[in-house]
């Protein structure tokens, strides 16, 4: 964001731009608390780039307690001037920098008039001499927490952990909440779906930042059912307990006891609090908080707090696991539903399917190709609305109904899609979908495509010389609306050696990129690939055209028209073993970039 030429209106007086402020860090937040402007001093002090600051919530990104813990918004004094329209200041605030160290900050926040009369705030700040103390190991904090602070921490734990549906992200948020506020070591052991135990996280507060000890993480021996040792009891859900290295000095009664003794020796933990992590129905792991550099042992009051945090973490982790399990089921089902393309003499076809990112659910994108009763080839690209198991199930129903109609009825594409639309409206569980159904046939060495479009992004024709055009004819309503619609076909003679791209909207559209812009990007990259093999075309489009912030899955079907001057070959089915990066449906297992 270019802020150099923008003037500020502070307390009713028009001033100069932020870049004129060279003696202090400066940032502007809007009425929502999002950072919209920064100066170069702020970038240097906070050790973050402007792009890492702009658009982020100032409190959530920067404001911390003196031990590095996150604070609830109600504890943020910076909000005062923005909400009341006045001025606020402070001399002992702690802000987190880009390298995860804490910076002691003296600051002043003044009301700032934004566009259209909205009220934001201009914040001026500088680093104080207290920063050096923050970079040393913090003193014990858990025992000094007031009852109000404990309640605030528990409320923040619930709010923060339930905001994610990914196990890894939930664990990272848990670490930020309790380290170093309650302990300088954190260990999370989770029971696996196969009945084993995995040490998912071992982290240490060191030099003002969290350090992961990957050498102490990994698979663990099975849980002993009769062991009285603290971790074994927690993993069985028996009780939370205080522990120390003395508990593991005797002869070990299990493999877990051996690993736990090694943990105490490697970390120097002298006091630990171990609590079960309970899900809705069962125990899913154990949370261990340890103190090594800090003086003082955990107390029974601390143990009650840790147990309550573990309980809230268990509910969040249980939800995340359920979500990921459902997503795996849906993705597996969808991959098995995607077809193997048939052999079509002279016509080369290549298909790709890329699931949605892990933060999103599975969608209903699909492709298909079938040999029609008269020998022509039918090709399909479609997208059932939704991002869950219902979308995947709806995709299977629509795909199978289309195959049945196309395989039995000698009708034009528009008539078949009209019948499909009527059938969808009669389904017990309604579905809506966009789709292109095309018919390709070859006569006297010339290929012709007849197609109809039900609300789907138009096919892209790429000629061998790089000329491109979107085939926007025969556009109609999407399927499943229940509205009467007269559909029509469009026909085109396909030039020799040309390429037809059929794709779903996940390839070109995202929250940060408009539809038209995505089509322009696709057209430019596709033109540059006119001479490339279809395998390369698919891979390049997925890596270079698909938006980085896309949260949808992508289906892509490419067709290459042969050169009539050459003897037509046959498109053969690939052996999955010829490329370990693809599965039986030609789906890239992993796409870099």
Please report, for the chain, the start and end positions of each structural domain, with discontinuous segments joined by +.
9-134, 142-328, 339-578
Q: Tell me what the pLDDT averaged over the chain comes to.
A: 82
**Structure confidence at residue 32 (pLDDT):** 82
Q: Is the dihedral of CA 130, 132, 134, 138 positive or negative?
A: negative
List the single range of 70-84, 166-180, 329-343, 491-505 with lowest mean pLDDT.
70-84
Q: Structure tokens of 289?
A: 């908080």
Per-residue model confidence as pLDDT tens digits over 210-260: 899 999 999 999 998 889 999 999 999 988 999 999 999 888 899 999 999
- Cα–Cα nearest to 305, from 65, 142, 70: 142
DSSP designation for 429: S
Q: Structure tokens of 578?
A: 């010829």
Domain 339-578 has CATH 3.30.465.10: no
Residue 438 or 95, more confident:
438
DSSP designation for 48: -
Most distant CA pair in the chain: distance in Å?
89
List the single range of 180-189, 322-331, 538-547 with lowest mean pLDDT.
322-331
Rounded to whole angstroms, the Cα distance separating 166 from 360 reads: 10
**Structure confidence at residue 164 (pLDDT):** 79
DSSP designation for 467: -
Which of the four pLDDT bands, split at 50, 70 and 90, describes residue 139? very low
Q: Which element (helix H / strand E) includes 82?
A: helix 79-84
Q: What is the mean pLDDT of residues 380-405?
A: 82
Would you tell me the crossing angle of helices 300-337 and 147-161 to the nearest 10 degrees? 10
Q: Which residue has the tokens 């869950």?
A: 388
Q: Structure tokens of 102?
A: 């804490």
For the ranges 200-209, 353-362, 571-580, the one whose mean pLDDT is highest: 200-209
Range list of H helices, 339-442: 389-408, 413-425
Residue 519 or 571, more confident:
519
pTM confidence score: 0.52
Which of the four pLDDT bands, split at 50, 70 and 90, describes residue 149? confident
Total Cβ atoms within 10 A of residue 428: 5
Which of the four pLDDT bands, split at 50, 70 and 90, describes residue 70? confident
Kindly tell me if the per-residue pLDDT of 196 is higher than 80.
Answer: yes
Kindly tell me if the per-residue pLDDT of 6 is higher than 60.
Answer: no
Domain 142-328 identical in fold to domain 339-578: no
What is the separation of C-alpha 331 from the centre of its chain, rounded to a whole number of angstroms? Answer: 15
Tell me the percentage of the chain whose pLDDT exceeds 90. Answer: 37
**Structure confidence at residue 348 (pLDDT):** 93
Domain 142-328: CATH superfamily is GAF domain (3.30.450.40)
The correct CATH number of 9-134 out of 3.40.50.300, 3.40.50.2300, 3.90.1150.10, 3.30.450.20 is 3.30.450.20
**Structure confidence at residue 141 (pLDDT):** 46
Q: Structure tokens of 202?
A: 């071992």
Rounded to whole angstroms, the Cα distance separating 115 from 111 reads: 13
Which of the four pLDDT bands, split at 50, 70 and 90, describes residue 12? very low
**Structure confidence at residue 363 (pLDDT):** 64
Q: What is the mean pLDDT of residues 65-92?
A: 70
């Amino acid at each position: 964001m270019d802020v150099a030429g923008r003037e500020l209106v502070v307390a009713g007086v028009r001033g100069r731009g932020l870049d004129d402020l060279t003696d202090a860090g400066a940032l502007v937040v809007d009425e929502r608390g999002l950072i919209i402007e920064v100066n170069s001093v702020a970038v240097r002090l906070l050790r973050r780039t402007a792009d890492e600051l702009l658009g982020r919530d100032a409190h959530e990104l920067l404001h911390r307690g003196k031990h590095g813990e996150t604070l609830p918004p109600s504890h943020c004094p910076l909000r005062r001037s923005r909400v009341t329209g006045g001025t606020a200041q402070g001399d002992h605030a702690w802000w987190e920098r880009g390298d995860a160290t804490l910076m002691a900050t003296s600051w002043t926040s003044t009301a700032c008039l934004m566009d259209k009369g909205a009220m934001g705030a201009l914040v001026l700040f500088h680093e104080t001499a207290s920063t050096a103390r923050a970079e040393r190991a913090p003193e014990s904090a858990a025992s000094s927490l007031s009852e109000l602070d404990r309640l605030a921490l528990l409320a923040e734990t619930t709010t923060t952990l339930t905001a994610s549906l990914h196990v890894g992200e939930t664990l990272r948020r848990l670490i930020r909440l309790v380290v170093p506020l309650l302990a300088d070591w954190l260990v999370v052991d989770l029971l696996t779906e196969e009945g084993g135990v995995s040490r998912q996280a071992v982290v240490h507060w060191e030099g003002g930042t969290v350090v992961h000890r990957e050498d102490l993480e990994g698979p663990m021996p099975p849980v002993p059912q009769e062991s009285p040792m603290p971790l074994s009891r927690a993993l069985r859900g028996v009780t939370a307990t205080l522990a120390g290295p003395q508990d593991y000095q005797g002869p070990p009664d299990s493999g877990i006891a051996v690993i736990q003794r090694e943990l105490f020796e490697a970390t120097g933990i002298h006091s630990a609090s171990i609590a079960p992590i309970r899900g809705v129905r069962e125990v899913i792991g154990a949370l261990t908080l340890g103190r090594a550099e800090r003086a003082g042992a955990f107390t029974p009051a601390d143990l009650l707090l840790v147990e309550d945090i573990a309980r809230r973490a268990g509910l969040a982790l249980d939800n995340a696991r359920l979500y990921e399990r459902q997503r795996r089921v849906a993705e597996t089902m969808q991959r098995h539903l995607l077809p193997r393309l048939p052999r079509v003499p002279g016509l080369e076809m290549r298909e790709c399917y890329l699931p949605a990112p892990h933060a999103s659910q599975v969608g209903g994108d699909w492709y298909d190709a079938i040999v029609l009763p008269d020998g022509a080839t039918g090709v399909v690209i479609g997208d059932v609305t939704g991002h869950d198991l219902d979308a995947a199930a709806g995709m299977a129903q629509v795909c199978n109904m289309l195959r049945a109609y196309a395989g039995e009825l000698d009708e034009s594409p528009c008539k078949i899609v009209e019948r499909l639309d009527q059938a969808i409206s009669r389904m017990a569980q309604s579905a809506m979908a966009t789709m292109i159904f095309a018919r390709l046939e070859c006569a006297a060495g010339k290929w012709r495509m007849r197609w109809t479009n039900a609300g789907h992004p138009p096919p892209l024709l790429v000629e061998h010389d790089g000329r491109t055009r979107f085939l926007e004819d025969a556009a109609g309503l999407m399927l499943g609306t229940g509205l009467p619609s007269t559909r029509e076909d469009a026909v085109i003679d396909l030039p020799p050696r040309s390429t037809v791209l059929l794709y779903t909207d996940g390839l070109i559209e995202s929250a940060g990129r408009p539809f038209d812009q995505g089509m322009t990007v696709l057209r430019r990259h596709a033109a540059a690939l006119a001479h490339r093999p279809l395998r390369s075309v698919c891979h390049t489009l997925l890596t270079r055209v698909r938006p980085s912030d896309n949260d949808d899955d992508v289906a892509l079907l490419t067709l290459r028209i042969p050169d009539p001057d050459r003897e037509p070959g046959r498109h053969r089915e690939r052996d999955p073993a010829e490329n370990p990066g693809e599965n039986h449906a030609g789906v890239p297992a992993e796409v870099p970039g």
